[in-house]
Chains A and B, each alone.
Chain A
Amino acid sequence: MLSKRIIACLDVRDGKVVKGVNFEGLREAGDPAELARRYNVEGIDEIVILDVTATVEARQARAHTIAAVAHEIFLPLTVGGGIHSEADAEAAIEAGADKVSLNTAALRTPELITRLAKRYGSQAVIVAIDAKRGAPPAPHQAAPYNVFARSGQSATTRDAIEWAREATERGAGEILLTSIDRDGTKAGFDCEMTAAVSDAVNIPVIASGGAGTFEHFAEVFREGRADAALAASIFHFNEKSVSDLKQYLSTLSIPVRI
């Protein structure tokens, strides 16, 4: 049976892992390669590196970080943040990434999804969607899931469900769905939003934002119908171990790789 994946996210700035709350107030959490090594030993299924302040000048530094992490693990490695062009994707993949995650660039230039999917295969293209709940347009109507660009800085006119569908049609292989409302809060994943997106597309959905307890993971796999769950804070600061989490999920008969 296909396992539910547990993914550790390394938010990297200037070569160091950082973590904030609601996309703000970053604090340092260590060296990317060291953390990757630890997670690998603990049984993480996948690692994502997000370069949270990537700039053109940072491209070389990013390649260095990717290579250092790739050196530590024989697991799927995704790189996101600052992937704005085919050249950026190529540099990340050459440095050792298996997949790239597109966010702002995909919103700006949706054709980039298709171009990269044609070149590297859909399995190498993740579309990351950062969404925040908006006010319902009218009483008794569902609240929209507003999509934001530029690390949560810029509002767009997109809705997460509609955008996930379009990204899938354009060739995305997975959706990485982050709840801005829950990011870093440890209040639990937004299961309702995750389920809505997961039901709308036929590709895997990775839930992100809000992991605080083991129960939150069980909820997002069951109620959120997520195929994978991504977390940062609860692993980085040694609050919870990946292996304990997997043991817990396994006792609930949620399929995981142990």
Chain B
Amino acid sequence: MIALVDYGAGNLTSVRKALAAIGASVWTPVAPVELGRADGMIVPGVGHFDATRGLTKEWRTAIKAAVAGGTPLLGICVGLQWLFEGSVEAPDVQGFGMFKGSCSLFTFPVNDRQKVPHVGWNSLSMPRASKLMAGIAPGTQVYFTHSYAAPVIDDTAAICEYGVPFSAAVERDNVAAMQFHPEKSGPAGLQMLSNWLSGTDVK
């Protein structure tokens, strides 16, 4: 069973629906202790980094323990940003710090016509091989909607460019995350979720 962590940041309906479509059974734990029996954990999220305050010390401790025990963790959208050290969107809220660096607002020269938020379909390039992006061709487009982005680091598994290059996906050992919405990215997104699921012990 996959634990879909609901910390009150928006709607989980579409993530749940996408997981059902690829054959995963999902539940929403009500207490951190339940993560002990998860085959995989997903931290979704839309909207503001501040919402990750809902991931209290108890949740963080339980997630950290499960990751240390080998349970795969997947972050989606703000869930990716949370895995970094923090974000200028909410400087007083600490990130989980699994990945090095902090998230920043897209800023462009005044004459640049690019808009913020970055909304729509944009293409990926892969700096290296990863489990998450297995079988995904470079240039594949996925659906983004965000104003803040994480830097490109050694753990970056997919890069997207919007004025500047940023981490579209990261992966290290059993921790992975996507800035775009795989559940809204058609067949390619479902493929990535399946890739992640195949790395869990879910039957």
Contact = CB atoms under 8 A, between A and B. Distances in A.
Given A173-B117, A203-B116, A228-B120, A120 B10 contact: yes
B113 A225 contact: yes
A5 B14 contact: no
Contacts of A3: 120-122, 141
A123 B141 contact: no
B21 interface: yes
A257 B121 contact: yes
Interface residues of B, number: 36
B10 A74 contact: no
A3 B140 CA distance: 12
Contacts of B189: 74
B93 interface: no
A74 B183 contact: yes
Looking at chain A's contact residues, the main secondary structure is: loop
A191 to B, nearest CB: 16
A94 interface: yes
Interface string B58-90: 000000000000000000000000000000000
Interface in A76-130: 76, 93-96, 98, 120-124
Which of B116, B119, B145, B184 has the largest number of chain A CB atoms within 10 A? B119
11 contacts: A3-B122, A4-B120, A74-B21, A75-B184, A94-B13, A96-B13, A98-B184, A120-B47, A121-B10, A121-B48, A123-B46
Interface of B: 10-11, 13-14, 17-18, 21, 46-48, 113-123, 141, 143, 145-147, 161-162, 181, 183-187, 189-190
